Amino acid sequence: MSLSTGLALVPLLTGSFGLTFEEAVTMAMLHMMLVTSHILIFGEAYAAGWITAALPLVLALVLGGYDSPTERFQMMTALSIEFAVLTFFMGITGFGKKLIGMIPAALKAGIIMGAALSALKRIFYDDVSKFDVMPISFIGAIVLCLVIFYLPAFQKWKQENNIIKLIASLGLLPVFAVVGISGYVAGELEFDIISGVLNPPFASLFEKVSPFAIGWPPLDYYIAAMPIVLMAYVILFGDLLTGKAIIDAGQQERSDDPVDVNFNRSHFAVSIRNFLMAVIVPFFPTQGVLWAGAQVIVTERWKEGKEKLEGLIGGIAAFYYYAIPIGFIWLPVVTFLKPFMPVALMLTLLLTGIACGKLSIGLVKTHKEKAIMMLTALLLTFYDPWIGLSIGALACLLIRTTVKRGV
């Protein structure tokens, strides 16, 4: 599971960032190694992953505003360095909670809804030509995904039928199985499985992506990155709170395995990982703090007792072991997964969009807040991030002012 998720960006790296397939796989492997360091080196109890909700916003900025692969990787460097500095500062000062508390709910909801709309725009507008190439695979994957995760009747069957329950517990695996068969029969998927081991092209990758080779971002890149970095931090802090809630719920059942959750340490770990990524293989936002699905899976098993899982951190570490680095360099596995990668990226964006949409709607209560949310989201989706964030903040300020005056 961790391997297939880590490889989801490969089509994007080859199609829009000028990398070869081998270089893209190597980059994904290095990203996953940095993700795994969150557990193995920093001792965090979080199942780390991408800041997934920020990905659509990042892609809208980078792909929409910069044309060449060099410019795009320089912007990824600027985003990663700024985020590393911000998280380090928040870790030292502990100011993160205060900052999040200062942001109005309508603006938070607008940021998250903006991520949802940006994700859907990427699928159904920017990359809609992919449906012409793989119509059965893409449409079939979307339908099956919606049925398994959101169809009320299927959720009811899951409670009544053990076979349906087993299928649902496998997550996206049944979707890929059906897509693989139907896509192959329709001629949309071609499998060219290669034996052997990948010789990672570190040198050529470094020359194409590292700021030491392609040059450091100019100042205006850092300025353009600021609103995305701030929005990504809002999402990251939400992930920290979500992860802590999951761990705290499990801790009630496992008092024998006390888990130390330290937000300051989490900030430092994320900061270091993002800085290392920025100077070696920059691609923001792959160095986040929580892969919620993996966290829930491991925590639920941990709650069942010591005989099922000795310790939470050990269980999370084991979840990542098998993809690093053996899975990435074992060519039979990587080349088998290659045809599925465009579908995996599309489903990642789709599920992100749906989850962000549901979350943002739950954050706003009044009609005024809902209006600000949609205004901010639409501006973030179709205009420069500075415009969306500034007008959203201004709208919140005006509403608060009129309420205080009784207008």
Q: Is residue 282 part of a domain?
A: yes
Q: Is residue 172 part of a domain?
A: no
At 151, phi and psi to the nearest 5? -70, 120
As a whole number, mean pLDDT of residues 236-254 equals 87
Residue 126 has pLDDT above 80, yes or no: yes
- C-beta separation of 8 from 344 below 8 A: yes
How do residues 210-229 score in pLDDT, each as one tens digit?
A: 999 999 999 999 999 999 99
- What average pLDDT is seen over the chain? 89
pLDDT for position 63 = 94
Domain total in the chain: 1
CA 386/CA 29 separation, integer angstroms: 33
At 330, phi and psi to the nearest 5? -85, 100
- Please name the residues in contact with 329: beta carbons below 8 A apart, sequence gap of 6 or more: 29, 197, 198, 200
pLDDT for position 352 = 84
Q: Is residue 169 part of a domain?
A: no
Q: Is residue 387 part of a domain?
A: no
pLDDT for position 391 = 93
Tokens of 157: 């069957």
- C-beta separation of 49 from 287 below 8 A: no
**How many residues can be counted in the chain?**
407
pTM for this prediction: 0.87
Range of the domain at 38: 2-129+194-342
Q: Is residue 7 very low, low, confident or very high in pLDDT (cuts 50, 70, 90)?
A: confident
DSSP for 114-172 reads HHHHHHHHIIIIITTHHHHHSHHHHHHHHHHHHHHHH-HHHHHHHHH-HHHHHHHHTTT
How do residues 158-214 score in pLDDT, each as one tens digit?
A: 888 888 888 877 777 888 889 999 999 999 999 889 999 999 999 999 999 999 999
How do residues 381-391 score in pLDDT, each as one tens digit?
A: 998 898 999 99
Q: Is residue 325 part of a domain?
A: yes
Give the N- to C-terminal CA distance of the chain in Å, as an integer.
54
Residue 138 has pLDDT above 90, yes or no: yes
- C-beta separation of 112 from 53 below 8 A: yes
Q: Which amino acid is at 99?
A: L
- C-beta separation of 228 from 363 below 8 A: no
CA 9/CA 389 separation, integer angstroms: 27
As a whole number, mean pLDDT of residues 255-280 equals 93
Share of the chain above pLDDT 90, in %: 48
CA 43/CA 384 separation, integer angstroms: 38
Q: Is residue 381 part of a domain?
A: no
Residue 131 has pLDDT above 60, yes or no: yes
Q: Is residue 363 part of a domain?
A: no
Residue 129 has pLDDT above 80, yes or no: yes
At 190, phi and psi to the nearest 5? -120, 130
Q: Is residue 367 part of a domain?
A: no
- C-beta separation of 64 from 306 below 8 A: no
